[in-house]
Amino acid sequence: MARREYQLKIAGSIDPETLYGLGATHLADTFSVDTYLAINDGNSHRNREEGDRRTYAIKGGDVGREARVKDIAQEGPISVAKAEKMKRRHGVLAQVRNASQMYRLQGAVISIDSVERLGGFIEISEVDSEEELFRVLALLGFSKEQAFRKSYLDMILDLKIPKWRQRLVAVHSLIGEAMFGICGGVMTIAGVLIGMATGGVGKELVIKAMAAAAFADSLADGGSMYFSKAAEGASLRQSVRYALGTFGGKAVMALVLLLPVCLLPLGVAIRVDLFVGFLTIALIQTLLALATWKPWIKEVTQKVALALAIVVMAHFIGSWIDNLPLHNLE
């Protein structure tokens, strides 16, 4: 059976001390990622990711007189696999990222929201009528004229997000776990390659070192990612997913960079690998920046500069090792 949802929003924020003074109690601080599917049937289809919980909801159109009122036809938990399958099948209409501080006040839920690209808002919900919404609104010290009924989805769509950016968001959500491994693979292999080549090591040893890094270092980073996510409180499924993404991204990138070393003279292979590695980092950071609405030039410049610094340090460390009097150890 469908339930009815009543909501109002006010642009801006409110001091939590004001809420406590009115008798409110703190419920939770949350961060949610709402992915709306591109299904054109008059309803909104939302996948919500909140910590290790995923839910799916189908909401009808706004039927309220003065506030936003929607019938929720379906709402409940959904598996990660099913959510990803629906995303691939239908595509992404828009994505809303929201950090919330939630309070209970006389039966209503007051949420102090910070929404990426939109700003700060106060949302009133979890009541049984429009009249109750406006009663709580007045209790908070706001007038009817200050309130509005638009959803965050409506506001995001008002920004007229181009199709290409929607596709970037979809790609980012699908391969995000592997991106750390890919960039780590570039930096690790570039460092090994430059350091050993500068240190006067032969091509055979360079290939063996790169192959070892492709698997041993990838496993180590995958394990570290698992423990890191577990320590943050992520679920077992989430922790394993990030660990596998890190291992797979780093191992595949390392093997890609190993191929030129096997097929080309070492000097040529180094130039090819550096070009491919820096290009990969630039493309991934551009994707990340555009998908999360960050200044892409700044993000790409910072990450490529870091990779370049690693290569330069590897070169000087390799030269230093090459000049060590290790023959005395024989």
pLDDT digit string (tens) for 152-201?
A: 998 988 886 677 766 766 666 656 667 778 887 787 777 777 777 666 66
State mean pLDDT over 200-217: 77
Contact criterion met (CB below 8 Å) for 156 and 18: no
Of residues 291, 296, 284, the one with CA closest to residue 170: 291
b/e map of 299-325 (b: 16 or more CB within 10 Å)? bbeebbeebeebbeebbeebeeeeeee
Q: How confident is the model at residue 297 (pLDDT cuts 50, 70, 90)?
A: confident
pLDDT (0 to 100) of residue 176: 66
Provide mean pLDDT across the span 246-268.
Answer: 85
Whether the predicted pLDDT of 115 surpasses 70: yes
Beta strands 108-115; 119-125: pairing state = antiparallel
pLDDT of residue 225 exceeding 70, the answer is yes
What local confidence, expressed as pLDDT, does residue 237 receive?
Answer: 73
Residue type at position 59: K
Could you state, in order of their start, the residue ranges of all structural domains in the chain? 3-161, 164-329
Q: What is the pLDDT of residue 200?
A: 65
pTM: 0.54
Q: For 3-161, which CATH class? A: mainly beta
235 pLDDT tier (thresholds 50, 70, 90)? low
Sign of CA dihedral 214, 217, 219, 223: negative
- Pick the more confident residue, 42 or 268: 268
For residue 149 the two structure tokens come to 């009924």
pLDDT band at 204 (very low <50, low <70, confident <90, very high): confident
- Single out the residue of 103, 107, 95, 94 nearest to residue 123, CA to CA: 103
Average pLDDT for 4-8: 92
Average pLDDT for 242-265: 85
Model confidence over 43-60: pLDDT tens digits? 899 999 998 899 999 998
| pLDDT reported for residue 291 | 66
The pairing of beta strand 119-125 with beta strand 147-148: unpaired
pLDDT at 316: 76
Tracing tokens 């990711």 back to the chain, one arrives at 49
* Average pLDDT for 271-291: 82
pLDDT for 330? 52
Sequence-distant (≥ 6) Cβ neighbours of residue 148 within 8 angstroms = 8, 9, 10, 11
DSSP for 237-288 reads: HHHHHHHHHHHHHHHHHHHHHHHHHHHS-HHHHHHHHHHHHHHHHHHHHHHH
CA distances from 220 to 73, 124, 248, 250, 276 (A): 46, 47, 12, 11, 24
Mean of the per-residue pLDDT values of the chain: 84
Q: At which residue do the structure tokens 């001091």 appear?
A: 15
**Is 80 exceeded by the pLDDT of residue 229?**
no
DSSP assignment, residue 329?
Answer: G
pLDDT range class, residue 151, cuts 50, 70, 90: very high
Is residue 5 a contact partner of residue 69, using CB atoms and an 8 Å limit? yes
